[in-house]
Amino acid sequence: MSKEIDIQVSSGNIFADLGMPNADEMLMKAELVRQINQIITQRKLNQLQAAEVLGIDQPKVSALMRGKLTGFSTERLFRFLNALGCDVQIVVKPKLKSPAIPGISVVSI
Protein backbone atom coordinates (compact mmCIF):
# COMPACT_ATOMS: atom_id res chain seq x y z
CA MET A 1 0.00 0.00 0.00
CA SER A 2 1.17 3.46 -0.75
CA LYS A 3 0.34 6.54 1.26
CA GLU A 4 -1.07 9.57 -0.48
CA ILE A 5 1.21 12.57 -0.14
CA ASP A 6 -0.33 16.03 0.06
CA ILE A 7 1.67 18.44 -2.11
CA GLN A 8 1.28 22.20 -2.21
CA VAL A 9 2.67 24.37 -4.97
CA SER A 10 4.99 27.08 -3.66
CA SER A 11 4.28 30.73 -4.23
CA GLY A 12 8.00 31.23 -4.83
CA ASN A 13 8.41 32.76 -1.38
CA ILE A 14 8.98 30.18 1.36
CA PHE A 15 8.37 32.81 4.04
CA ALA A 16 4.92 33.59 2.60
CA ASP A 17 4.20 29.87 2.23
CA LEU A 18 4.91 29.47 5.95
CA GLY A 19 2.60 32.41 6.77
CA MET A 20 5.37 34.57 8.21
CA PRO A 21 4.86 38.33 8.54
CA ASN A 22 6.92 40.60 6.24
CA ALA A 23 7.53 37.67 3.89
CA ASP A 24 8.66 39.84 0.96
CA GLU A 25 11.20 41.66 3.12
CA MET A 26 12.48 38.40 4.58
CA LEU A 27 12.92 36.87 1.12
CA MET A 28 14.79 39.95 -0.08
CA LYS A 29 17.09 39.91 2.96
CA ALA A 30 17.71 36.18 2.55
CA GLU A 31 18.75 36.71 -1.07
CA LEU A 32 21.03 39.63 -0.14
CA VAL A 33 22.65 37.49 2.57
CA ARG A 34 23.06 34.62 0.08
CA GLN A 35 24.91 36.95 -2.26
CA ILE A 36 27.10 38.32 0.57
CA ASN A 37 27.97 34.75 1.61
CA GLN A 38 28.74 33.82 -1.98
CA ILE A 39 31.19 36.73 -2.33
CA ILE A 40 32.87 35.91 1.00
CA THR A 41 33.22 32.27 -0.07
CA GLN A 42 34.51 33.15 -3.56
CA ARG A 43 37.16 35.40 -2.01
CA LYS A 44 38.07 32.63 0.44
CA LEU A 45 37.76 35.02 3.38
CA ASN A 46 37.56 33.56 6.84
CA GLN A 47 35.08 35.09 9.28
CA LEU A 48 37.66 37.39 10.86
CA GLN A 49 38.72 38.73 7.47
CA ALA A 50 35.10 39.16 6.41
CA ALA A 51 34.35 40.98 9.68
CA GLU A 52 37.18 43.43 8.99
CA VAL A 53 35.93 44.12 5.46
CA LEU A 54 32.32 44.53 6.60
CA GLY A 55 33.17 46.58 9.69
CA ILE A 56 31.46 44.22 12.13
CA ASP A 57 32.65 41.66 14.66
CA GLN A 58 33.19 37.96 13.90
CA PRO A 59 30.10 36.69 15.78
CA LYS A 60 27.91 38.89 13.55
CA VAL A 61 29.59 37.42 10.45
CA SER A 62 28.90 33.95 11.85
CA ALA A 63 25.23 34.83 12.37
CA LEU A 64 25.04 36.29 8.87
CA MET A 65 26.60 33.21 7.31
CA ARG A 66 24.11 30.98 9.14
CA GLY A 67 21.20 32.98 7.72
CA LYS A 68 20.24 34.78 10.91
CA LEU A 69 18.45 37.83 9.48
CA THR A 70 17.53 39.43 12.80
CA GLY A 71 19.52 42.57 13.49
CA PHE A 72 20.43 43.16 9.85
CA SER A 73 18.38 45.82 8.08
CA THR A 74 18.12 45.88 4.32
CA GLU A 75 20.17 49.08 4.28
CA ARG A 76 22.89 47.44 6.34
CA LEU A 77 23.04 44.51 3.93
CA PHE A 78 23.35 47.00 1.06
CA ARG A 79 26.33 48.58 2.87
CA PHE A 80 27.93 45.14 3.30
CA LEU A 81 27.62 44.56 -0.45
CA ASN A 82 29.19 47.98 -1.06
CA ALA A 83 32.06 47.10 1.31
CA LEU A 84 32.58 43.92 -0.72
CA GLY A 85 32.94 46.02 -3.88
CA CYS A 86 29.44 45.63 -5.29
CA ASP A 87 27.10 48.32 -6.56
CA VAL A 88 23.51 47.97 -5.40
CA GLN A 89 20.88 49.17 -7.83
CA ILE A 90 17.19 49.52 -6.99
CA VAL A 91 14.86 49.41 -9.98
CA VAL A 92 11.19 50.38 -9.85
CA LYS A 93 9.12 49.29 -12.85
CA PRO A 94 5.49 48.70 -13.75
CA LYS A 95 4.11 45.26 -12.98
CA LEU A 96 4.00 42.87 -15.91
CA LYS A 97 0.56 41.87 -17.17
CA SER A 98 0.67 38.49 -15.51
CA PRO A 99 -1.67 37.10 -12.88
CA ALA A 100 1.04 37.43 -10.24
CA ILE A 101 0.72 40.19 -7.69
CA PRO A 102 3.43 42.89 -7.59
CA GLY A 103 6.36 42.05 -5.36
CA ILE A 104 10.01 42.50 -4.52
CA SER A 105 12.85 40.57 -6.06
CA VAL A 106 16.64 40.62 -5.87
CA VAL A 107 18.52 39.99 -9.10
CA SER A 108 22.23 39.35 -9.38
CA ILE A 109 23.87 40.52 -12.60
Full DSSP string of 52-108: HHHTS-HHHHHHHHTT--TT--HHHHHHHHHHTT--------PPPSSSSPP------
Whether 46 maps to a domain, the answer reads yes
Whether residue 62 contacts residue 47, with contact meaning beta carbons closer than 8 Å, is answered with yes
Q: Which domain holds residue 39?
A: 14-83
Report the C-alpha gap between 88 and 79 in whole angstroms.
9
3 is a domain residue: no
Class of residue 28 by CB neighbours under 10 A (exposed 0-12, middle 13-18, buried 19+)? buried
- Indicate if the pLDDT at residue 100 is higher than 70: no
In a domain, 63, yes or no: yes
Contacts of 20 (CB under 8 A, 6+ apart): 26
Average pLDDT, stretch 74-96? 90
Q: Which pLDDT score, from 0 to 100, does residue 102 have?
A: 64
98 pLDDT higher than 70 = no
Query: What integer best gives the mean pLDDT of the chain?
Result: 89
The number of folded domains in the chain is: 1
Domain annotation covers residue 22: yes
Residue 106 in any domain: the answer is: no
% of the chain at pLDDT higher than 70 = 91
User: What is the CATH number for 26?
Assistant: 1.10.260.40
> Is residue 71 in some structural domain?
yes
Q: What is the mean pLDDT of residues 69-96?
A: 90
The verdict on residue 4 lying in a domain is no
pLDDT at position 16 is: 87
Indicate if the pLDDT at residue 53 is higher than 90: yes
